[in-house]
A = this chain, B = another copy of it.
């Protein structure tokens, strides 16, 4: 009816994993205090390179068409990202997860790491969030809890800063040493996102020689974090805290829910501060993202949903501009119901970010 509400049958979309990039570390210079500028501007500091085999594919890390005309780093050009992602897929929101995780996983020299994290957050506000209201940001922090809390307190008021980013590396975030970080996020009503960094090793500490192996195993890193959060009582301390496990897959989740429940039933006296069944924390406090979709058929996917016991735990992610980008319309087999698709593409993330 004229003048009445128009209900579109089109799916709404929130993309929960978009990697905006700096062109080079020099992009951080305007936001760094003078004492730190010299390391990048004059002394040639570069981030550590954590894995040796990133060149297995031509342009391994990126979609071929995501390189800007001037040859800059894919993901570093707002206009191109807007065109290829926000506008093309008519997204309601896209959550920028960035890449400058190294400030968090870096071991030592925490003061410089803290400065890099702050500079990166200011860069994200200045060059990205200010340009489009559909963009949401992630607060990058250093690993050292006191500095991390300061940075969360500094950035939380920005209306587009939607979460605190805890990259996954070679340490477990559930350790009580890190609890002030969770306390700060919780105090500001911000959810946590966890995303792998390159600084992970295989279970067992051995190094698995090939990128295909590294890629196959990196969900292990997420399992380790989930186990660590639950057994250390994070969700008993902060029952309303939500954590998104981004780019770690979701196919393993029902397995780990069952596995932890079974272990907990037999051994709960060891961790009496953990009050609920582990699978309850999965369902109430954790969300998982779609990309990379491991070619599950609709039936296989519904098996996973059935074993999770919830349709609310999975959120769409594209991973733009990386090579294994999943566009929203091709992420899920068409046989999945429209209502479940709408939850995954939009509603679950809307609720997670309280949009």
Interface residues of A (CB under 8 A from B): 53, 56-57, 168-172, 175, 200-206, 208-213, 215-217, 219-221, 223-224, 227-228, 231-232, 249, 251-252, 254-256, 258-271, 278, 292, 294-296, 299-300, 303, 306-307, 323-324
Cβ-defined contact, B213 with A231, below 8 A: yes
| Among candidates B202, B212, B258, B260, residue contacting A296 with C-beta atoms closer than 8 Å | B258
21 A-B residue pairs with Cβ-Cβ distance under 8 Å, sorted by A, are: A56-B269, A57-B266, A168-B204, A170-B204, A172-B204, A203-B217, A203-B221, A205-B205, A206-B228, A210-B270, A212-B260, A212-B267, A212-B270, A212-B271, A215-B263, A215-B267, A255-B255, A258-B294, A262-B292, A262-B294, A262-B295
What 19 additional pairs, Cβ within 8 angstroms, besides A209-B232, A258-B296, A266-B323?
Answer: A56-B267, A56-B270, A57-B269, A172-B206, A200-B204, A201-B203, A203-B217, A206-B224, A208-B224, A208-B227, A209-B231, A213-B227, A215-B263, A216-B227, A219-B255, A249-B259, A255-B255, A262-B292, A303-B306
Q: Give min CB distance, A215 to chain B, whole Å.
A: 5
| Among candidates B205, B252, B265, residue contacting A255 with C-beta atoms closer than 8 Å | B252
| Among candidates B220, B228, B256, B307, residue contacting A224 with C-beta atoms closer than 8 Å | B220
Chain A, interface SS category: helix
> Closest B-chain residue to A172, C-beta based?
B206
Instruction: Kindly report how many copies of this chain are found in the complex they form together.
Output: 2
> Closest B-chain residue to A249, C-beta based?
B259
**Residues on the B chain within 8 Å of A249, using CB:** 255, 259
**Residues on the B chain within 8 Å of A171, using CB:** 204, 206
Q: Give min CB distance, A182 to chain B, whole Å.
A: 16
**Residues on the B chain within 8 Å of A175, using CB:** 206, 209
Cβ-defined contact, B231 with A204, below 8 A: no
Cβ-defined contact, B224 with A203, below 8 A: yes
**Residues on the B chain within 8 Å of A200, using CB:** 203-204
- The interface centre, meaning the residue of A219, A224, A232, A260 with most chain B CB atoms within 10 A of its CB, is A224
Task: Give complex CA distance A201, B259 in Å.
Answer: 17
**Residues on the B chain within 8 Å of A264, using CB:** 212
Cβ-defined contact, B223 with A227, below 8 A: no
**Residues on the B chain within 8 Å of A270, using CB:** 53, 56, 210-212
